[in-house]
Amino acid sequence: MRNLSVSTATSLKNITIQDDFWSPYISLVRDVVVPYQWEALNDRIEGTEPSHAIKNFKIAAGLEEGEFYGMVFQDSDVAKWLEAVGYLLELQPDPELETVADSVIEIIAKAQHADGYLNTYFTLKEPNGRWTNLAECHELYCAGHLIEAAVAYHKATGKNQIMSVACKLADCIDEAFGPEEGKIKGYDGHQEIELALMKLYHATGQERYLRLSRFFLDQRGQLPHFYDEEYERRQGSIHFPSLRMAKDRSYSQAHLPVRMQQTAEGHAVRVVYMLAGMADVAAETGDEDLLQACRALWKNIVTKRMYITGAIGSMAHGEAFTLDYDLPSDTAYAETCASIGLIFFAQRMLGIEPKGEYADVLERALYNTVIGGMSRDGKHFFYVNPLEVWPEANRVNKNFEHVKVERQQWFGCACCPPNIARLLASLGSYIYSVKDNTAYVHLYIGSQIQLELAGQKVHLVQQSELPWEGVVRFEVGLQTAARFKLALRIPDWSGEPEIRINGEGLTISSDQRTDGYVVIDRQWGPGDIVHLVLPMPVQPMKGNPLIRETIGKIAFQRGPMVYCLEEADNGPNLHQLVVKSDADKQVAFESGLLGGLQSITVPAYRIREEGWADKLYQANIDMKLEATTARFIPYFAWANRGSGEMRVWVAETMASTKFI
Amino acid sequence: MRNLSVSTATSLKNITIQDDFWSPYISLVRDVVVPYQWEALNDRIEGTEPSHAIKNFKIAAGLEEGEFYGMVFQDSDVAKWLEAVGYLLELQPDPELETVADSVIEIIAKAQHADGYLNTYFTLKEPNGRWTNLAECHELYCAGHLIEAAVAYHKATGKNQIMSVACKLADCIDEAFGPEEGKIKGYDGHQEIELALMKLYHATGQERYLRLSRFFLDQRGQLPHFYDEEYERRQGSIHFPSLRMAKDRSYSQAHLPVRMQQTAEGHAVRVVYMLAGMADVAAETGDEDLLQACRALWKNIVTKRMYITGAIGSMAHGEAFTLDYDLPSDTAYAETCASIGLIFFAQRMLGIEPKGEYADVLERALYNTVIGGMSRDGKHFFYVNPLEVWPEANRVNKNFEHVKVERQQWFGCACCPPNIARLLASLGSYIYSVKDNTAYVHLYIGSQIQLELAGQKVHLVQQSELPWEGVVRFEVGLQTAARFKLALRIPDWSGEPEIRINGEGLTISSDQRTDGYVVIDRQWGPGDIVHLVLPMPVQPMKGNPLIRETIGKIAFQRGPMVYCLEEADNGPNLHQLVVKSDADKQVAFESGLLGGLQSITVPAYRIREEGWADKLYQANIDMKLEATTARFIPYFAWANRGSGEMRVWVAETMASTKFI
């Protein structure tokens, strides 16, 4: 095996986020989200669907009486919560939280079978059903989340109990699955085990985990088809009849061997979790075909199947991708977890080849869909993140049944809330990476970090005014002068950047700009200061003319933030607002609005209703527009002021059209 | 009871359609549609879902062995076919067809129980379930269709067998239902029996049928709720779990007493069938509250919930209305049967109060959705009539699962094809009506008719160039001169009309124009000639600014025909075409195109894709448009040239916008 030269992700131990925008989120995760979710997992949040997830473990552990309740993958909610706890503990000690986590680890350990098997659904509901329905039943998915939790918790605390559970479970899986005679040749309907085994491999150095991960990827989509075979062995019994998981191969990306897939098909979360695993294996093994498939699917997603908010999945049925350029705003699925998975994938690609486009998409998903998926109080969540809502229609028209117009306290299928928690808790690992004596800065988030460069420890202090202004300052802490490269990402939303080093302007040569980064290669001295200014004009955005939804419409973006109109600011019938792309845009920081944010106000027109009373269609009539102003707020902050209309894509006058 | 002064509908015996546009349709129904459907009902069309409808009757009659198959309302397909046969036989004798019909009547009669009950589903599948699930099981609906068939067949042939079956069935129902102690206080989930009983009342003069019809209308929506009561008596057993028919009261318009309903809610076909029955009862009884409810619901439908094609029903789930101004083009349900029901309702309202708006809507539904529901070969049908299709998305995105991009040979739920047949076969009864010594001309369709006016028989010969030109000529055949009124409808699509009587121009006074008609009150002489010219410019149509779907878009209409773009004429990506409402429009009759039709060609622009390769969103970019032409064809003719894109509402430049 030949591994690729991959950049080192930064350990959370070495970084401290100190940022006006993000520090409150990290605190929120620590002080509110994780404690709140602990209550939810223990069924102590009133008025919500019960989770029963902890109870399932207690019953499986023999500590309580009762029956399994919830989705087949209910275990994973506990694992994702525990993983978030691991990251929080890695950031800073918290003995009280650690005690709670240890207590749940104790229960999990007791629920594990002697042979390492661990899954409360099968233990309690189908004790003889182990590994009989991989297409639908998420056993390996749950195992993967447990492994991710174990790696995070072990890294933070050094404690072995959960790591030992995870290794026993992985070994149990390794005993059951593999190319050897007599082993199962299957793979999970929901990818996750692949990337988790890679984490376990990196944590333990045990190559069998890498081999097993690769085995699962290699098997997917091969013929004769494993899902047909197990379906017949089960004599056709199924769990989720409406989705045809066992038969609709593309739903689980099992329609083709993974190396042959060129378009993102089926369940969006599965696609990006799979791709994260593929990138991990490719990075480790140098498997060029696997890497090419990663690149092809990346390109398909980000150039044909992604919303401007970094959301993916155009259809509720199957929570799935549909086809190129099919990006409806109002019936979008755009699951929070799918954007989180896209971030996982982007981070891995960034490790393999530091190209700005990966970080651009990562940032787009993070600042819009992911943080939009949680309310500013940390206790309400979106599963689905539409780009347009009309609450009256959402109540009545079943095409919008999957869309909630306000964030919910919890979900029967509660995958998204703990996914947000674990991502935000580990945000520090997405900001920098180091490769070939180069420190890459992918995200502009105020922080202090310790990096290994030119054979010494470099202490980098970043101050950032993002996302509201594109002003960043770095201070380089060094023992002695040293030569290394600092690669500063120039985001796709930025104008021509200005860089000053110790107050002196840097003329950026074309050599210095590669793949979306300005690479500064110099002898750095202790206390060197780098100033970076990324011009952040309001950008009128258009969609590709092949997107039906965005024709004749415009969206505003400023920095990483995509903006939207809300009824709270603009009244109802937002579709009647028409803007000009070249109108003057007023940007103002409103400290009192929704925790403080930059709003955009533009002159606009409103289509008037006069002359239309009791008329549905009229001939030879000019629409009358009256001047007004439209106020936009960042998309992530929508739906924090009650139920109301929202839209990202707004009608545009054709003034900016060129007739040729 | 005080009945309203209602205009007399014309008997098919007294009218002969002789029309370039419509005569081929009537012939098609006689020569192709009805014979084809007979084959379908007998399961002899290869490659389609079996109907089994005739077989069900044979089995119930004890003539064959086997089991019931199909929907609970499968019987109604046979009844609607038989009704169409009745109209055809009323138009002209056809011994061969009559023999076929008599043979099926024989079978139906044998399937009837001794007490008059008749329903093959309950006879064969639930012999003890009679009248236990009115919310879901369509027993009275099927009975209604049988009654309608009987009335039509009896009127045409004078034969009594099917009329006797119908009366026995109606009497059986009258025995079971009613306000009297011990009788069932329920009503059918799908309205139909109400209007059918009114036909039976008119055919037999038996007041009990009128009383029963009114009883069913009066009961609907009363509390305690009958559907809850029968649901409990059934201990919660249900037929259609996904639709919650038994619990979702508005699905069956049972959410309120009918006189209190102000908006069209739930299943669209049910709404308009109910309203037809309500109008019938109101006309007969002078029930002002009932009439007001008809007017209120009419207004709600045609001013807030109707597509420009005269289609209704915005949502696939429940085939239902949603809310005011929610009129999506691509996910529309727009069922053929619903527009047919809207025509039934409009005709009855026109009888009560001859206002042009009823005929305008009737004509809109007829010329667009209804005939669009059938292919020009008479053997393929649409159930759903969207205003926009993108075939690639329809294949993949489940939001469009209900939409077919090409007409189908038959359906598992085959309500629409025989509904088109019976409507077209009886088209002659929609053209004229007579009231208060006035002959109303509602539709301009070439025909000869015998009317009773001023105490004598008046023979009116209409020649019409509609729908392609607004040129109409009437010749008045009389024994002796007589004074009566001729009321000519001035359609909503017409410019200022020109009328000449015996070559002499008529100055139309405002007195003569009432409610959409020009009323000519004069002494008519034998051989008088009336020329009517209805200017028929291409009309750029706009939608009410409260309709989200139509903002920034335009549709073309000419005469009664709504136009659409098809991929066959304009290439793919029809959303990239942009037109100006004030552009020159070329109208041309193309005799070789789809059986001959008038096309509209307009200068247009196409949004270019250059500069967008591999880019999904871009900032600060002007869309580039190149000049092209767009060719529109009438909506009814779409999808006769294979699978391709279609759209009615087309992007418009904002050139015609007034900024105020």
Write phi, then psi, for A111 (nearest 5 degrees).
Answer: -80, -10
> Per-residue confidence at A242, pLDDT binned at 50, 70, 90?
confident
**What pLDDT, on a 0 to 100 scale, did the predictor assign at position A656?**
42
Mean pLDDT of chain A: 94
The answer, yes or no, to whether residue B404 has pLDDT greater than 80, is yes
Q: B349-370: per-residue pLDDT in tens?
A: 999 999 999 999 999 999 999 9
Contact A654 B655 (CB under 8 A): yes
Q: If contacts are CB pairs under 8 Å, which of residues 496-525 in chain A contact chain B?
A: none
In a 3-state reduction of DSSP, which class is residue A548? coil
> And the tokens for A396?
């009545």
d(CA A331, CA B443) in angstroms, rounded, equals 41
- B649–chain A nearest CA distance, Å: 12
The fraction of chain A above a pLDDT of 70, given in percent, is 98
- A652–chain B nearest CA distance, Å: 9
d(CA B316, CA A411) in angstroms, rounded, equals 26
Least confident of A244-253, A540-549, B36-45, B649-658: B649-658
> Residue B652's beta-bridge partner residues?
B579
> Per-residue confidence at A654, pLDDT binned at 50, 70, 90?
low
In a 3-state reduction of DSSP, which class is residue B281? helix
Contact A545 B623 (CB under 8 A): yes
Residue B660 contacts A, CB cutoff 8 Å: yes
d(CA A29, CA A374) in angstroms, rounded, equals 11
**Omega cis (within 30) before A467:** yes
The fraction of chain A above a pLDDT of 90, given in percent, is 90
Nearest-by-Cβ selection for A317 from B398, B607, B654: B398
Contact A624 B658 (CB under 8 A): yes
Is there a catalytic annotation at residue B319?
Answer: yes
Q: A454-502: per-residue pLDDT in tens?
A: 999 999 999 999 999 999 999 999 999 999 999 999 999 999 999 999 9
- B26–chain A nearest CA distance, Å: 31
> Per-residue confidence at A581, pLDDT binned at 50, 70, 90?
confident
- B452–chain A nearest CA distance, Å: 37
> Per-residue confidence at B653, pLDDT binned at 50, 70, 90?
confident
Do the Cβ atoms of B90 and B12 come closer than 8 Å?
A: yes
Do the Cβ atoms of B250 and B315 come closer than 8 Å?
A: no
- B582–chain A nearest CA distance, Å: 9
In a 3-state reduction of DSSP, which class is residue A436? coil
DSSP state of A29: I
Q: A359-415: per-residue pLDDT in tens?
A: 999 999 999 999 999 998 888 999 999 999 999 999 999 999 999 999 988 777 777
CA atoms within 13 A on the CB side of B80: 25
Distance (Å) of CA A452 to CA A10, A430, A433, A442, A456: 10, 17, 10, 17, 6
Q: If contacts are CB pairs under 8 Å, which of residues 390-429 in chain B contact chain A?
A: 390, 392-393, 396-399
Pick the residue with more confidence: A5 or A617?
A617
> And the tokens for A478?
């060094």
Residue with token string 């949680």: A374
**What pLDDT, on a 0 to 100 scale, did the predictor assign at position B643?**
95
d(CA B264, CA B300) in angstroms, rounded, equals 7
B-chain residue closest to A617, CA distance: B543
Q: Contacts of residue A612 in chain B, CB cutoff 8 Å?
A: 544-546
Residue A244 contacts B, CB cutoff 8 Å: no
Q: If contacts are CB pairs under 8 Å, which of residues 609-628 in chain A contact chain B?
A: 609, 612, 614-627
Q: Contacts of residue A548 in chain B, CB cutoff 8 Å?
A: 390, 575
In a 3-state reduction of DSSP, which class is residue A568? helix
Nearest-by-Cβ selection for A545 from B576, B627, B657: B576
Q: Contacts of residue A551 in chain B, CB cutoff 8 Å?
A: 575-576, 607, 651
Please tell me which residue in B136, B265, B319, B357 is annotated as part of the active site.
Answer: B319
Distance (Å) of CA A370 to CA A20, A336, A557, A636, A637: 18, 6, 16, 8, 11
Give me the mean pLDDT over the A8-24 stretch.
89
The answer, yes or no, to whether residue A571 has pLDDT greater than 90, is yes
Residue A318 contacts B, CB cutoff 8 Å: yes
Q: Contacts of residue A619 in chain B, CB cutoff 8 Å?
A: 493, 539-542, 557
Least confident of A416-420, B154-158, B414-418, B483-487: B414-418
> And the tokens for B581?
């409402």
The fraction of chain B above a pLDDT of 70, given in percent, is 98
**What pLDDT, on a 0 to 100 scale, did the predictor assign at position A80?**
95
- B481–chain A nearest CA distance, Å: 41
d(CA B331, CA B327) in angstroms, rounded, equals 9
Least confident of A91-105, A149-163, A403-417, A572-586: A403-417
Q: A201-227: per-residue pLDDT in tens?
A: 999 999 999 999 999 999 999 999 999
Q: Contacts of residue B396 in chain A, CB cutoff 8 Å?
A: 322-323, 326
Contact B299 A323 (CB under 8 A): no
B-chain residue closest to A495, CA distance: B619
Distance (Å) of CA B186 to CA A321, A506, B247, B328: 46, 85, 15, 35
**What pLDDT, on a 0 to 100 scale, did the predictor assign at position B657?**
46
d(CA B77, CA B420) in angstroms, rounded, equals 12
Q: In this prediction, does ipTM exceed 0.85?
A: yes
d(CA B29, CA B424) in angstroms, rounded, equals 7
> And the tokens for A58?
């207690």
Residue with token string 């409990």: B232
B-chain residue closest to A326, CA distance: B393
Q: Contacts of residue B620 in chain A, CB cutoff 8 Å?
A: 539-540, 581
Q: Residue B148: in which H helix or E strand, if any?
A: helix B139-157
> Per-residue confidence at B303, pLDDT binned at 50, 70, 90?
very high
Nearest-by-Cβ selection for B393 from A323, A539, A552: A323
**What pLDDT, on a 0 to 100 scale, did the predictor assign at position A3?**
65
This prediction's pTM? 0.95
Q: Contacts of residue A581 in chain B, CB cutoff 8 Å?
A: 620
**Neighbour-count burial of B245, counting CB atoms closer than 10 A to its CB (0-12 exposed, 13-18 middle, 19+ buried):** buried
Diameter of chain B measured on Cα atoms: 79
The answer, yes or no, to whether residue A151 has pLDDT greater than 80, is yes
**What pLDDT, on a 0 to 100 scale, did the predictor assign at position B656?**
42
Q: Residue A434: in which H helix or E strand, if any?
A: strand A432-435
Instruction: Please give the interface size between A and B, counted as residue pairs whose CB atoms are below 8 Å apart.
Output: 191
Q: B405-460: per-residue pLDDT in tens?
A: 999 887 777 778 889 999 999 999 999 999 999 999 999 999 999 999 999 999 99
**What pLDDT, on a 0 to 100 scale, did the predictor assign at position B648?**
98
Please tell me which residue in A142, A172, A415, A416 is annotated as part of the active site.
Answer: A415
A-chain residue closest to B651, CA distance: A552
- Sign for the CA dihedral angle at A359, A1, A144, A403 comes to positive
Give me the mean pLDDT over the A169-191 stretch.
97
Reported in sequence order, the residue ranges of A465-596 that DSSP labels E, i.e. its strands, are 471-477, 482-489, 498-501, 504-505, 513-514, 517-524, 528-533, 538-543, 553-558, 561-566, 577-579, 586-590
Least confident of A232-246, B83-97, B208-222: A232-246
Do the Cβ atoms of A216 and A201 come closer than 8 Å?
A: no
Q: A100-138: per-residue pLDDT in tens?
A: 999 999 999 999 999 999 999 999 999 999 999 999 999
Contact A616 B315 (CB under 8 A): no
Do the Cβ atoms of A40 and A414 come closer than 8 Å?
A: yes
d(CA A69, CA B632) in angstroms, rounded, equals 57
**What pLDDT, on a 0 to 100 scale, did the predictor assign at position A2?**
61
Domains, chain B, with CATH or none = 26-250 (no CATH), 257-430 (no CATH), 434-533 (2.60.40.1180), 539-653 (no CATH)
The answer, yes or no, to whether residue A93 has pLDDT greater than 60, is yes
Residue of A542, A548, A616, A650 to mutate for B, most B C-beta atoms under 10 A: A616
Please tell me which residue in A83, A148, A319, A549 is annotated as part of the active site.
Answer: A319
